Amino acid sequence: MRRKDKEIRDLEEIEEILRRAFVCRIALCEDDRPYCVPMIYCYKEGAIYLHSAKEGKKLEVLKKNNRICFEVEMDVGLVTEGRPCSWTLRYRSVVGRGKGYIVDDLNEKRKALECMVERFSPVYKYQFTEEELDSVVVIRIEVDELSGKKSE
């Protein structure tokens, strides 16, 4: 990381950002063409779980190359002090890499979806039916690398 003064070294703070940010942007690569998409997600037990439709470009690309880069951010705000070329952003972010796998195990899929529901609505409890579980895809990213950065 170029700006060591902005680096987050505390794994607990990095994991807090992963637990609290709303959107995870994943970047995939098909041949020599990058593909990036924002997704709903949940971070649990060192893995990122993503909710997806059963078909689409990201699944096509993932099946060919399961390496994923991802990014989340929170507490974003524009700091407009001084001249416009000196303006900056305030933020906390995490960038990571890993490998993505389609979750076939219904129990793991159910737990991932329950994690997402609880994350966005902690009081809402829902029991997914097998039909509902079969109607969506859950992708698990097994995280290999994490780095955090903040500007306050």
Domains and CATH numbers, the chain: 4-151 (2.30.110.10)
Q: What is the pLDDT of residues 12-56, one digit of tens each?
A: 999 999 999 999 999 999 988 999 999 999 999 899 999 999 999
- CA dist., res. 81 & res. 11, Å (int): 31
- CA dist., res. 18 & res. 22, Å (int): 9
**35 within 8 A of 28, measured Cβ to Cβ:** yes
Q: What is the pLDDT of residues 96-148, one digit of tens each?
A: 999 999 999 999 999 999 999 998 888 888 889 999 999 999 999 999 999 99
**Residue 111 corresponds to which amino acid?**
K
Q: Which of 138, 111, 120 is nearest to 52 (CA)?
A: 138
- CA quadruple 19, 22, 25, 26: dihedral positive or negative? positive
CA 90, chain centre distance (Å): 20
What's residue 20's pLDDT?
93
Beta strands 47-52 and 41-44: pairing type? Answer: antiparallel
CA 134, chain centre distance (Å): 22
What's residue 95's pLDDT?
97
- CA dist., res. 145 & res. 152, Å (int): 24
Q: Name the pTM for this structure.
A: 0.90
CA 138, chain centre distance (Å): 13
